[in-house]
Amino acid sequence: MATSTVAPVEEWIDALRDEGPRREAAISRLHDLLLRAARFEVNRRKATLPHLRGGSLDDLAVQSADDALVAVLAKLDDFRGDSRFTTWAYKFALLEAAVRLRRLSWQGREVPLEPAAWERLGGGPSSPEAGAETQELFAALRRGIDTELTAHQREVLVAIALNDVPIDVLAERLDSTRGALYKTLHDARQKLRRHLADQGLAIEEVSG
Amino acid sequence: MNEAISALLGPAGPELTCERCFDEVDRYVEQEQAGRDAEAAVPGMGAHLEGCPACREEHDSLRALAGESFTNP
């Protein structure tokens, strides 16, 4: 029995757990679905990679679909049916493609771990349009970053929040994981919030 | 609100981890597309998407792709 992209969840799961030609057909259709998702992500981001040719980008999409297929099959027992099977499967291919594309876009580039120029930031302390309250907050934040954070927290916060380094790129450079780095980022942010609160600065008004 | 300050301080409320975000993002997106209260279904997801640019990009892609697939399977 054929398994289409709009097939009921039970049909997908049943076919993928089957043996022989029915399973092979389901896997082939699943790969097609994942490749569609990977190409979708490539198309959304290809403007950020003007130096890559179409063939290279399609190779990347195929590799992403291949790895996503392995991940989906390994996680099949985790699928709870809380969403359509296709939506659930798509996220694996989107993740694989997005991570590859972020890393490619930073290939050969130095990852800045220090706040190179606070003044470059819109509304930074030297910006003429920055109000007195904003300047006071920036000054307090700089002090907090310098005095309250560990060296690792400072590097992660500055790279991701100030220098727009993608978290997957930073994870690769620091031999870490997205989850571990986000926890570091979260802890650093909490410390800064406490630091501002201790100084009586109105955090919620600026952080929304 | 200053974007740099917002990026430095992150979301104010409790938020999911990246791992939980990945686990729940398909359900969250479908709740959004159905016009339901996705944040009530997955508490902390909105704050995480505000604080994590990578997860936010992947959420946005999934939402766009799932929406396209729904109308053009």
Instruction: Select from B1, B8, B27 the Cβ nearest to the Cβ of A192.
Output: B8
Q: Are B54 and A102 within 8 A, CB to CB? A: yes
User: Residue A75 pLDDT > 70, yes or no?
Assistant: yes
Q: Are A82 and B10 within 8 A, CB to CB? A: no
Nearest to A43 by CA among A93, A84, A86: A93
* Digit-coded pLDDT (tens) for A21-66: 999 999 999 999 999 999 999 999 988 887 777 788 999 999 999 9
Q: Are B7 and A206 within 8 A, CB to CB? A: no
Chain B contacts of A98, Cβ < 8 Å?
54, 57-58, 61
For residues B20 and A120, what is the distance between their CA atoms, to the nearest angstrom? 34
* Smallest CA–CA distance from A123 into chain B, residue: B2
Domain ranges of chain A: 9-105, 118-207
Nearest to B45 by CA among B60, B32, B28: B28
**A206 exposure class (CB count in 10 Å sphere: 0-12, 13-18, 19+):** middle
Asked whether the CA dihedral A57, A62, A67, A72 is positive or negative, the reply is: positive
Q: Are B4 and A162 within 8 A, CB to CB? A: yes
Chain B contacts of A6, Cβ < 8 Å?
73
Q: Are A138 and B7 within 8 A, CB to CB? A: no
For residues A25 and A116, what is the distance between their CA atoms, to the nearest angstrom? 54
Nearest to A158 by CA among B11, B4, B33, B56: B4
First to last CA, chain B: 40
Instruction: Select from B26, B54, B64 the Cβ nearest to the Cβ of A178.
Output: B54
Tally A–B CB contacts below 8 A.
127
Q: String of b and e for B29-62 (b: at least 16 CB within 10 Å)?
A: bbbbeeeeebeebbebbbbbbbbbbbbebbbebb
Q: String of b and e for B5-26 (b: at least 16 CB within 10 Å)?
A: bbbbbbbeeebbbbeebbbbbb
| Cα R_g (chain B), whole angstroms | 13
Instruction: Select from B7, B62, B68 the Cβ nearest to the Cβ of A91.
Output: B62
Q: Are A86 and B1 within 8 A, CB to CB? A: no
Q: Please answer whether residues A102 and A168 qualify as being in contact, where contact means their C-beta atoms are separated by less than 8 angstroms.
A: yes
First to last CA, chain A: 53
Q: How many Cβ atoms are within 10 Å of A9's Cβ, its own excluded?
A: 15
Instruction: Select from B9, B22, B68 the Cβ nearest to the Cβ of A189.
Output: B9
Chain B contacts of A167, Cβ < 8 Å?
18, 52-54
Q: Are A203 and B9 within 8 A, CB to CB? A: yes
Q: Are A206 and B6 within 8 A, CB to CB? A: yes
Q: Is the pTM of this model over 0.80?
A: yes
For residues B10 and B4, what is the distance between their CA atoms, to the nearest angstrom? 10
- In this prediction, residue A148 has a pLDDT band, given cuts at 50, 70 and 90, of very high
Chain Cα centroid distance, residue B48: 7
* Smallest CA–CA distance from A207 into chain B, residue: B6
* Digit-coded pLDDT (tens) for B4-44: 889 999 999 899 999 999 999 999 999 999 999 999 999 99
The whole-number pLDDT of residue A119 equals: 56
- In this prediction, residue A7 has a pLDDT band, given cuts at 50, 70 and 90, of low
- In this prediction, residue A1 has a pLDDT band, given cuts at 50, 70 and 90, of very low
Class of domain A9-105: mainly alpha
CATH code for the structural domain at A118-207:
1.10.10
The residue with greater pLDDT, B72 or A197, is A197
User: Residue A116 pLDDT > 80, yes or no?
Assistant: no
Chain B contacts of A90, Cβ < 8 Å?
26, 62, 65-66, 69
